[in-house]
């Protein structure tokens, strides 16, 4: 008995291991994280969904919590503080300190005594990465760069940037000025999505070219982010590598000898915003790379932008799910809505209430962006739009009495007319029309695809073969796993019962042996 139970227990363990391994292997085939990580050149990087910035997407990160120098990507924090605490139309006077920079610095082109609006200075800081603009902004907002740095650290702390410390407002090298790529992803997600000035921030960092015209002379500049703007050809670079990315929405570059080539990039597709932070890329300074040709320098200058695009493409492709309208409907997407006709006849059997049905093309296939990698699509929103001129009786069956819009991730995925399913005769005339009423109109419909309790999905996509619904692969996994666990528990219980019975049998055998020895001893004594 013991041998049989042991064999069953071992077999069940083997089946569990094989099942889990096969599931993991299939997942790995679909999205090879390690291969993607190894393709990224920069030593420190992270890729996050902006809606969940503290955690990398599927583990796409390397040395994400190591303290490193951020170079001019520091200006993301400077920009958001200035936007939140300043007035864009304020005129800012440029001090001597703001223009005290030598050769090799990225500058907006300011001169002492210049006056420009805070708006122009922010563009001058974020597009060409002007250190002079950063100083002028900090002095205007806080009185000094030191006091502004205090604001930077306060802001960082409030956002949960626990591994960062800021000393400069522009990111020029300072050993006490450091951060991590995870902290900067958190900051960027806040600036894009959570800040009260997020729209202004998005507009600035996504601008390709800008002319500051509020001062005594116009200053024009181009964004240094090559995901947005191609590097113009020059005599040294007649054919620079193009790094344009159609879904890029900007952010910030950085470059110092100590920090290397740095980039914070963001992209947006179908309502999903991704953020890539890449630090420590190869330097192009000839002092550190003697003998490099201009072409090789340009290739490595382009590498951070190419790596950001590589990460964006891989993740967006992984997020895409294909589903048909009929599958959405079969899994709960509402297509009928109640409509109250205000001037219906008094003898109307349903009191003037009728149902309007969305006239959808059920065979239409949709490609949806699914931010969560667990195979679930949720939060489908529905907006019902009544056509008021057709809401009075008489209503004839088949009349269009409104329309409905379905959206997901802020993207419209389907629109349809609402068609009356019956006729309604005219009654008392009234001047007010009661709009469409429905418990699920104008509200999100969650878990239509891949809901927690939905059993009609395979890998997050609903299945309808006309004979009912079928459990998803993830549901099968849990069903099989639960069955195996139950079998294991049964085996353990049987084994424990076996041990208990064996113990009792041995105790009984000992008692019998003791009684036998006692009888034998008694008989031996009587013979003597």
Query: Could you list the active site residues?
Result: 72, 75, 129
Query: Do residues 240 and 262 lie in contact, with contact meaning Cβ atoms separated by under 8 Å?
Result: no
Cβ of 380: how many Cβ atoms within 10 Å? 22
Cβ of 508: how many Cβ atoms within 10 Å? 10
CA-CA-CA-CA dihedral for 161, 64, 172, 131, to nearest 10: -70
First to last CA, the chain: 47
Cα–Cα distance between 285 and 261 in angstroms, integer? Answer: 11
Cα–Cα distance between 395 and 424 in angstroms, integer? Answer: 5
Question: CA angle, corner 40, sides to 38 and 46, nearest 5?
Answer: 105
Residue with tokens 């008489």: 394
Cα–Cα distance between 424 and 343 in angstroms, integer? Answer: 9
What does the H/E/C string look like for 446-497?
A: CCCECCCCCCCEECCEECCCCCCCCCCHHHHHHHHHHHHHHHHHHHHHHHHH
From residue 48, alpha-carbon distances to 61, 71, 248, 315 in Å are 9, 21, 15, 10
Query: Do residues 114 and 74 lie in contact, with contact meaning Cβ atoms separated by under 8 Å?
Result: no
Question: CA angle, corner 374, sides to 369 and 376, nearest 5?
Answer: 55
Query: Do residues 275 and 416 lie in contact, with contact meaning Cβ atoms separated by under 8 Å?
Result: no
E strand map for 168-292: 209-212, 219-222, 248-256, 260-269, 272-281
Cα–Cα distance between 485 and 477 in angstroms, integer? Answer: 12
Question: CA angle, corner 164, sides to 161 and 165, nearest 5?
Answer: 130
Residue 333's contacts (CB-CB under 8 Å, 6 or more residues apart) are 325, 380, 406, 445, 448
Cα–Cα distance between 24 and 515 in angstroms, integer? Answer: 61
Cα–Cα distance between 343 and 394 in angstroms, integer? Answer: 8
Cβ of 209: how many Cβ atoms within 10 Å? 12
């Amino acid at each position: 008995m013991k041998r049989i139970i042991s064999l069953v227990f071992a077999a069940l363990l083997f089946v569990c291991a094989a099942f889990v391994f096969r599931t993991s292997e299939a997942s790995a085939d679909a999205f090879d994280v390690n291969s993607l990580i190894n393709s990224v050149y920069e030593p420190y990087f992270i890729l996050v969904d902006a809606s969940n910035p503290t955690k990398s997407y599927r583990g796409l990160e390397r040395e994400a919590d190591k303290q490193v120098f951020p170079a001019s990507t520091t200006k993301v924090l400077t920009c958001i503080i200035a936007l939140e605490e300043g007035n864009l139309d304020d005129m800012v006077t440029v001090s001597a300190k703001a223009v005290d920079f030598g050769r090799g610095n990225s500058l907006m082109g300011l001169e002492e005594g210049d006056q420009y609006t805070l708006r122009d200075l922010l563009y001058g800081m974020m597009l060409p990465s002007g250190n002079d603009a950063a100083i002028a902004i900090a002095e205007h907002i806080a009185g000094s760069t030191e006091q502004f740095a205090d604001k930077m650290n306060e802001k960082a702390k409030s956002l949960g940037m626990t591994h960062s410390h800021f000393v400069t407002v522009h990111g020029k090298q300072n050993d006490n000025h450091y951060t991590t790529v995870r902290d900067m992803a958190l900051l960027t997600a806040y600036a894009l999505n959570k800040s009260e000035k997020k729209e202004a921030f998005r507009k600035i960092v996504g601008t390709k070219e800008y002319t500051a015209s509020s001062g005594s002379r116009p200053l024009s500049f181009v964004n240094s982010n090559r995901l947005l703007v191609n590097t113009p050809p020059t005599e040294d670079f007649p054919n620079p590598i193009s790094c344009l990315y159609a879904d890029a929405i900007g952010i910030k570059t950085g470059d110092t000898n100590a920090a290397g080539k740095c980039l914070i990039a963001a992209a947006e597709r179908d309502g999903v915003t991704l953020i890539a932070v890449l630090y420590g890329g190869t330097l192009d300074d000839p002092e550190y790379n003697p003998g490099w040709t201009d072409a090789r320098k340009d290739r490595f200058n382009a590498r951070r932008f190419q790596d950001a695009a590589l990460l964006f493409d891989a993740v967006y492709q992984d997020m895409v799910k294909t589903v048909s309208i009929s599958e959405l409907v079969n899994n709960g997407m509402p297509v009928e809505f109640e409509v109250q006709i205000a001037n219906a006849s008094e003898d109307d059997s349903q009191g003037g209430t009728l149902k309007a049905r969305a006239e959808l093309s059920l065979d239409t296939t949709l490609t949806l962006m699914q931010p969560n990698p667990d195979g679930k699509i949720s939060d489908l929103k529905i907006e019902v739009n009544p056509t008021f001129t057709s809401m009075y009786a008489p209503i004839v069956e088949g009349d269009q009495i409104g329309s409905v819009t379905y959206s997901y991730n802020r993207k419209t995925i389907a629109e349809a007319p609402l068609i009356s399913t019956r006729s309604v005769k005219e009654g008392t005339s009234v001047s007010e029309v009661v709009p469409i009423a429905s418990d699920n109109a104008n509200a999100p419909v969650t878990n239509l695809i891949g809901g927690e309790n939905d059993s009609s999905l395979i890998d997050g996509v609903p299945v309808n073969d006309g004979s009912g619904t079928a459990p998803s692969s993830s549901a099968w996994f849990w069903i099989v796993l639960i069955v195996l666990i139950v079998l294991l528990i049964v085996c353990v219980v049987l084994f424990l019962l076996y041990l208990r019975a064996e113990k009792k049998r041995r105790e009984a055998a000992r008692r019998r042996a003791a009684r036998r020895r006692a009888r034998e001893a008694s008989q031996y004594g009587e013979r003597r």
